[in-house]
Structures are given as structure tokens and as C-alpha cells.
Amino acid sequence: MNTPSYEPTDRRPLQSRNTRWAARATKLLVSWNCSPNAISIFGMVAAIVAGACFFATGFTGNSFSVRVLWTVGALLCQVRLLCNLFDGMVAVARGIASKSGELYNEIPDRVSDVAVMIGLGYATTGNVVLGFVAAIVAVFVAYVRALGKALGAPNDYCGPMAKPQRMAVATILAIYMTIKPESFHIDWLFDWLNSVDRLPKNGTEASLALLIIIVGGLITAIRRIQRANNFLRGDSQ
């Protein structure tokens, strides 16, 4: 008796999934017999190294080294997103999508979010407390989606601060920190933050990025809770 193949449902809506370059890259990965789970793990490793690069900027005195670390971190954040795109595409293309693959899709994502957020917290112009709070919020946003699905609601990938947006904020910050003049800071936007002893006195760019992620993440979690609640209440009536 043939067991029907597993078909992943409620996948994150990504326009890039339907592009020619993504299809060609997927075809190439399939020809290399790449494992979707290995791609997921590779994406997690990329995010961990990105977080380490951000972390290291806070402990490196050399200006050139700091800029290199921000640049590498930005690139690796995008590598993480590419891996998130291709693991599912390769699994479907090879016909080997499975429920266990969902574990490799979700767990590395949570590790990745935590690594990047904490890395930004320790980064130059960052704040450790905000980094840990951002990590908790990122995990909570994903938890709300997973809980809603477990209760019978569809996967909800709404924003404004889902995974792609979190990585976009981190990437934009890293690019900005790479190219900005050393003498330029945006403290005038966040003077009240500089009154807090635990915040850096040489800039608040990373702290501001983390606050954007935190506030956006809380809004996202609230939206997802409301949407899941509305769906489940409708199902029960």
C-alpha cells in the first residue's frame, strides 16, 4: 500500500518563490541532491555566525574590522533568508517534504532569531537588555503562529514584524553601520535613551533597530492572536 506523500500547507507567501532565479537555483540544488534539512541547518549556522559578527563589533576597537563584521553580518542575514526559501522549495521539488521537515524548518529559525537579536544587543551602539527582549519577542511571535495552527487556525505570517522584516531591519542597520561616517550618530533622535546608564554613549543605532523590532513584534503578536481568535470563534459557531 502506497503512503501518500506529505504536502506542506500554509507556506509563507513569498513572491521570490515564483521568480526564475529561485526556480533555477532550486533546480541546481536538486541536481546536487541537497537535503532540505541540511539547507535549514546551514541557514541556522549562517544566522549564528551573523550574530557572532554583530556581537564582535562591540568588542573590536579597529574601525575597519568593525565595518567588515557589520558587512559579513548583513550578508549572512540574507543567506539565512535564502536558506529559508530554498529548503522548502527543494523539499517540494524532490518530493521528500515531510512532517519531520517542519521541525528542521521551525527549530533552526528560532535559534537563528535568538542569535541575531542577542548579537545586536551586544553590538556597538546596541543594548544587551534590548537584545534579549527582542529575542524573546521574536520567539513569542513565532509561538503565537504555531499555537494558532495547533489549535486549528491557518498559519498566520502577517506582520508588520515577521521573520523577513526582522532580518530586513538587521540588514539595513548593518549596511548603515558599514557605510556611515565614524563621527555621525543619531543620538539626537534618541536623547532619552542615552540617559539610561546601560545604553552606549557612542550611538544608539542598534538600540533603535532593536526597539523597532520589539514594538513591531508585539504589534505582530497581537494581530496574530486576534486573527487566530476570530478564526477559531468562527469555527466553533
Cell of 105: 524548518
Per-residue pLDDT band for 62 (boundaries 50, 70, 90) equals confident
What is the average pLDDT score of the chain?
87
Cell of 174: 548593518
Cell of 44: 541556522
Domain assignment present for 176: yes
| 229 contacts: CB under 8 Å, gap ≥ 6 | none
Give the separation between CA 82 and CA 62, rounded to whole angstroms: 31
Q: Does residue 1 register a pLDDT over 60?
A: no
Q: Does residue 219 register a pLDDT over 60?
A: yes
Full domain range(s) for residue 85? 18-236
Q: Does residue 3 register a pLDDT over 60?
A: no
CATH for 188: 1.20.120.1760
- Count of structural domains, the chain: 1
Per-residue pLDDT, 181: 77
Domain assignment present for 9: no
Amino acid at 8: P
Give the separation between CA 5 and CA 196, rounded to whole angstroms: 55
Q: Does residue 37 register a pLDDT over 50?
A: yes
Per-residue pLDDT band for 191 (boundaries 50, 70, 90) equals low
Cell of 126: 546596541
Choose the most confident range, by mean pLDDT, from 46-50, 93-97, 102-106, 153-157.
Answer: 46-50
CB 158 within 8 A of CB 228: no
Domain assignment present for 102: yes
Domain assignment present for 29: yes
CB 235 within 8 A of CB 158: no
Determine what percent of the chain is predicted with pLDDT higher than 90: 64
Cell of 143: 509561538
CB 29 within 8 A of CB 39: yes
CB 146 within 8 A of CB 154: no
Sign of CA dihedral 90, 96, 97, 101: negative
Domain assignment present for 34: yes
Over range 23-40, report the average pLDDT: 93
Question: pLDDT tens, 115-167?
Answer: 999 999 999 989 999 999 999 999 999 999 999 999 999 989 998 999 999 99
Per-residue pLDDT, 101: 72
Domain assignment present for 5: no
Per-residue pLDDT, 60: 86
Give the separation between CA 47 and CA 64, rounded to whole angstroms: 22
CB 205 within 8 A of CB 181: no
Cell of 121: 544587543
Omega before residue 160 within 30° of 0, cis: yes
Domain assignment present for 91: yes
- Helix%, strand%, coil% for the chain, nearest 5: 75, 0, 25
Domain assignment present for 116: yes
Closest CA to 116 of 172, 54, 200: 54
